[in-house]
Amino acid sequence: MQSSDHQQITHRYNGIAIGLHWLIAILIIGLLMMGKYMTQLDETDAFRFELTQWHKSFGISVLVLSICRLVWRLMHRAPPLPTHMPRWERAAAGATHVFLYFLMLGLPLSGWIMVSASPLNIDTLLFNLLKLPHLPPFAEMANRAEIAELFHTVHEMASGVLIVLLLLHIGAALRHQFVLRDQIMSRISFDFKNPGTKDGLGLFAGVVVAAIAGTMLFNTAINAPDAVSRQSGAEQGVATAQNQVNFTLTLLGENLEGQFTESEIIVNLDENNIAQSSLRASVVTATADTGTPQVDNALPGADWFSSDLHPVADFESSGFSRIDDDTLKVEGMLTIRETSLPISFPLVLNRQDASASGGFTINRLDYAIGAAEQPDDSQAGFNVLVEFEFKLP
């Protein structure tokens, strides 16, 4: 027979606290499972790269939600524990909650520091919508590689501690529910018949929807100038369907294809006097588009294209010669990041649809692309294939 204490647990958490509790719990368990799985994959596996981006997005979500829950907890007193619980159990429950809060905040922060200090310098786009800035002190430090490795270790160790605490927390809850049968879990369980729970959950759901909508609107607003710029460029003939410049790079052992959405190719082709022909091409480096937001946001960075200082990469021919009736050899200088080097490539003429196409391969280190952050080819390959096609005048 239950004691009167066991029968009088009527105090409950507010609906907002209940919603935050279970949402954070689901996210943390999912993150721990995702983290253990993705670290078993080979570092060159493209799927591991994708999982890492989602892991970061959900991790920052846990950080934000945990801060909200902590603020809410400081503003609202928790329901009292039942009086039948011994003092040691009350103390253990309090200590467990303190450590859980510490890890809910510390784990995402350690991951954020690790990413900010990483020499890879890969941007984090939260759910491929909102760019998360690196933490300035760590992104600028000279020994950032050592810092990234240190916090990688901290992140792994903290996740192990969190797993142990979660098992203790869940085990204690199950003991109260199924062994002691004191209904203590009713304090944090959903009760849609309770007006307070329904109102709190309604407010919680409204805040979540508003946050998602606000993020999408903000993302649309900050991307609008780029969209207008691309449209304006197309109207001026800078980026049209008449020419296309594509590239293929190797990332984590996989080929990743992309294109420059803003390019200009000007050709003067004299079939009767090939030697007098000329070709000039340029691309706006900040418009590199691979369809992978994290890569696309990293490429214009200081160690890659450095698009702020060197917005355009261009080629200017110095000579034409004929290989056969439909193929010409083009020689000239390719300039990227103020480094100019000679290249040559075959230009194939397709007279049937009045177009021409060509391609060449460069070593990115020859142009100091990714030289500081990726000095070897363990993550990003050295060779980059550039291919283009354009309409003949």
* CA–CA gap between residue 54 and residue 48 (Å, rounded): 10
Structural domain ending residue among the three candidates 189, 224, 259: 224
Residue 233 lies in a domain: no
Residue linked to tokens 């039942």: 82
87 and 165 housed in the same domain: yes
In total, the chain counts a number of residues equal to: 393
Ranking 102-116, 131-145, 269-283 by mean pLDDT, the lowest is 131-145
252 and 312 housed in the same domain: yes
CATH code of the domain in which 287 resides: 2.40.128.110
Residue 203 lies in a domain: yes
Residue 85 lies in a domain: yes
168 and 280 housed in the same domain: no
Enter the tokens of residue 143.
């020994």
CATH code of the domain in which 64 resides: 1.20.950
* The predicted structure's pLDDT at residue 313: 96
202 and 245 housed in the same domain: no
Query: Phi first, then psi: what are they for 314, rounded to 5°?
Result: -140, 160
Enter the tokens of residue 93.
């429950």
pLDDT bucket at 145, cuts 50 / 70 / 90: confident
Structural domain ending residue among the three candidates 180, 198, 224: 224
Residue 287 lies in a domain: yes
Contact between residue 103 and residue 161 where contact means Cβ atoms under 8 Å apart: yes
Mean pLDDT in residue range 71-83: 86
pLDDT at 365 over 90: yes
* CA–CA gap between residue 245 and residue 259 (Å, rounded): 6
51 and 185 housed in the same domain: yes
- Least Cα distance to 63 among 135, 138, 147 occurs for 135
Taking the CA atoms of 73, 75, 79 and 85 in sequence, report the sign of the dihedral they define.
positive
Residue 82 lies in a domain: yes
Residue 231 lies in a domain: no
Structural domain ending residue among the three candidates 224, 254, 285: 224
214 and 327 housed in the same domain: no
213 and 242 housed in the same domain: no
76 and 171 housed in the same domain: yes
Query: How many domains would you assign to the chain?
Result: 2
pLDDT bucket at 176, cuts 50 / 70 / 90: confident
* The predicted structure's pLDDT at residue 104: 95
Question: How far are the Cα atoms of 60, 227, 251 from residue 50, in angstroms, in the given order?
Answer: 16, 26, 12
SS3 of 292, please?
A: coil
Per-residue b/e over 166-201, b at no fewer than 16 CB within 10 Å? beebeeeeeebeeeeebbbebbbeeeeeeeebeebb
* The predicted structure's pLDDT at residue 53: 86
304 and 164 housed in the same domain: no
Question: How far are the Cα atoms of 171, 347, 390 from residue 275, in angstroms, in the given order?
Answer: 82, 14, 20
Quote the domain boundaries for residue 302: 238-391
Mean pLDDT in residue range 362-388: 91
* The predicted structure's pLDDT at residue 166: 94
Contact between residue 83 and residue 34 where contact means Cβ atoms under 8 Å apart: no
pLDDT at 211 over 80: no
Element at 138 (helix H, strand E)? helix 136-139
314 and 187 housed in the same domain: no
212 and 261 housed in the same domain: no
219 and 315 housed in the same domain: no
Enter the tokens of residue 161.
């501690």
